[in-house]
Amino acid sequence: MKRTTVLISDEANERLQRLARRESKTASEIVKRAVESYLGMEPVGTRVLPFESLGASGQADTASRSEQILATEWADAIARDR
């Protein structure tokens, strides 16, 4: 791992510190995760699978629409993370 220095605005720093306290994490952990996410380097095993309830959805066509459903769910999950 490498250490780097990043300059952020006072407002961004305040929000980062509040988030760190709320999630009981360090600011470094949050920034590291944010950078990795931005670069498409999501840590393995940290995402909740959005399709976990497909079998109990009550819809008869989930198998034939699974790729469409997954694409929509992942897009929604990514949008929530940003």
1 and 30 belong to one structural domain: yes
User: Residue 57: what residue type?
Assistant: S
pLDDT for 39-66, tens place per residue?
A: 888 765 555 555 555 566 667 777 788 7
38 and 65 belong to one structural domain: no
Q: CA distances (Å), 28 to each of 25, 37, 45, 49, 75, in order?
A: 8, 14, 20, 26, 26
31 and 20 belong to one structural domain: yes
39 and 59 belong to one structural domain: no
14 and 34 belong to one structural domain: yes
Element counts in the chain: helices (H) and strands (E):
3, 0
Is residue 80 within 8 A of residue 72, CB to CB? The reply is no
Task: Please indicate, yes or no, whether the overall pTM of this predicted structure exceeds 0.75.
Answer: no
Q: Domain range holding 77?
A: 49-82
Domain count, the chain: 2
pLDDT for 12-29, tens place per residue?
A: 999 999 999 999 999 999
2 and 28 belong to one structural domain: yes
